[in-house]
Structure 1
Amino acid sequence: MAILVFFVAHYYLSLFTQTFYLHRYAAHKMFTMNKFWERFFFLFTYICQGSSFLSPRAYALLHRMHHAYSDTEMDPHSPLFSSNAFSMMWKTKNIYNDVLNRNYAAAERFEGDYPEWNLIENIGDKWYSRLGWGTAYVLFYINFATAWWQYLLLPIHFLMGPIHGAIVNWGGHKYGYQNFDNHDHSKNTLALDFLAFGELFQNNHHKLPMRVNFGVKWWEFDPTYVAIWTLDKARIIKIKRKVTAQKLQVAA
């Protein structure tokens, strides 16, 4: 039971920080927050992602490139140019490292307006940080695992952030339905969105990249929007723009 609780908690906390902080805040700035809360969620992202921590700056630049070049050869993670999800992840990793090290000219036009904290960025990308978090996961399993097969979950802990990205970018551009013609292959993969907290409404998001609620039709539920709405009401963040579904031309 302890292993299951730990796995589910790690999976969904890491997922939340990726969609809430890295995607909707760092990449899109759909809402604002003061410096205290920006640093709080920056550190929270590092803790929740652990060994798979992703730089908010590098994530933002890759994601902005993804929108600008969606499903073209310039897209850093389109499934159209990879034979499988693993090769797509490897390609994305290489581009991510180049962007992180400021060695990718195509990302330069997208620079600016993302949270920065050099101390945490540098620590999070160091081998000793990733190894330390990985060791902590292993020690937890040694103490609480009750069956050998539970250890098979450890690779998911080690690569949690990239796995979330792979689910969204592979599934969200290959499987599902389209509400809008975006001149790309983005789709809404509703059946798998319980693994993505709203991120698999890719077709909606590519049509309306600044819409905080990724759901458009009444039955498209975006769990992360509920959290954002709550934090907005609590005055921890402030939503910048509100687009209502009534204003949209949604395909039947």
Structure 2
Amino acid sequence: MVIIIFFLLHWYLSLFCQSFFLHRYAAHKMFTMTRNWERFFYMFTYACQGSSYLSPRAYAILHRMHHAYSDTEKDPHSPHHAKNLFDMMWKTKNIYNAYLHEKDKAEPRFLKNVPDWKKMDRVGGSYVSRILWGTLYVAIYFFSITVFELPYTHWAMYFLLPIHFLMGPIHGAIVNWSGHKYGYSNFDNKDKSRNSLILDILMLGELFQNNHHKLPSRPNFAVKWFEFDPTYPVVRILHVFRIIRLQKA
């Protein structure tokens, strides 16, 4: 039970940071926050993503490119220009690293108001950090399963560890692959975007890709009455408590 709880906490906290901070804030600026809150969410994202920490700056650049070039050859992560899921992930990794390490220069329109904390990105993206986080995950599994033999644990659960190591990229791969191949469309966006689920509990609203590509500045990714975006109520609560300020439509 401890392992399952740990896995679910890591899955959803990491996913929330990606959806709320990297996607809705860094890439789209759907809301504003003070510098101190921005630094807080930087560190919170690092703590939750751990070994798979993604730079908000590099993420924002890639995601803005994705919208500008959706499902064309210039799209950094379209399943329609990749041999398979792993080929898409590898291509995305290479483009991400090029912008992370500033080996390639992004178009000026993709750089406007992107958050940038180079020291945090250097720490989060370092091999030392990633190895230390990975070691922590292994230790939690080892002591829970092997040393203490806690109830409802089994050696087969060790196979969950690779997901912990690559949690951030795995979330991105699911969204970009499934959200541009499977599901239904509410809008004709001139691309392949789809809504994969109507109650997107699995990916906290990120699989409403068709809705999002039509309304990229809308903080609620659900549009129809039967759709539900679990991240949006949290966004509204943070707005009420003045931690963030939603942009006027």
Per the normalisation by structure 1, the TM-score is: 0.93
Contact 2:200 2:228 in 1 (8 A): no
Match of 2:212 in 1: 205
| In structure 2, C-alpha distance between the alignment counterparts of 1:88 and 1:140, rounded to whole Å | 31
User: Are positions 1:46 and 2:46 aligned together?
Assistant: yes
- For structure 1, which runs of at least 5 residues remain unmatched after alignment? 243-252
Distance 1:234 1:192, change over 3 A: closer
Contact 2:199 2:228 in 1 (8 A): no
| In structure 2, C-alpha distance between the alignment counterparts of 1:173 and 1:32, rounded to whole Å | 29
Q: 3-state DSSP class of the match of 2:201? A: helix
Task: Give the Å deviation of 1:83.
Answer: 1.9
Contact 2:49 2:167 in 1 (8 A): yes
Structure 1 runs (4+) greater than 6 angstroms displaced:
none
Match of 2:87 in 1: 87
Per the normalisation by structure 2, the TM-score is: 0.94
2:209 is matched by which residue type in structure 1? Q
Task: Give the Å deviation of 1:241.
Answer: 2.6
1:82-141 CA-to-partner distances (Å, cap 9, x unmatched) read 122111111100110011111224545411312222221110111000000000000010
In the comparison of the two structures, how many residue pairs are matched?
242
Q: 3-state DSSP class of the match of 1:75? A: coil
2:194 aligned residue (143, 167, 187): 187
Distance 1:192 1:212, change over 3 A: closer
| In structure 2, C-alpha distance between the alignment counterparts of 1:91 and 1:53, rounded to whole Å | 18
Contact 1:173 1:187 in 2 (8 A): yes
2:21 is matched by which residue type in structure 1? Y
- For structure 2, which runs of at least 5 residues remain unmatched after alignment? 146-152
1:170-228 CA-to-partner distances (Å, cap 9, x unmatched) read 00000000000000000000168322100000000000000010000011100010100
Q: 3-state DSSP class of the match of 1:194? A: coil
Contact 1:50 1:133 in 2 (8 A): yes
Q: 3-state DSSP class of the match of 2:223? A: coil
Q: 3-state DSSP class of the match of 2:227? A: coil
Match of 2:150 in 1: none
2:156 is matched by which residue type in structure 1? W
Identity of aligned residues (%): 64
Match of 1:10 in 2: 10
Question: Which deviates more, 205-214 or 102-111?
Answer: 102-111
Contact 2:239 2:246 in 1 (8 A): yes
1:216 is matched by which residue type in structure 2? V
Contact 1:62 1:107 in 2 (8 A): no
Contact 1:210 1:241 in 2 (8 A): no
1:49-91 CA-to-partner distances (Å, cap 9, x unmatched) read 0000000000000000000000000000000011221111111
Q: 3-state DSSP class of the match of 1:190? A: coil
| In structure 2, C-alpha distance between the alignment counterparts of 1:178 and 1:83, rounded to whole Å | 24
1:136 is matched by which residue type in structure 2? L
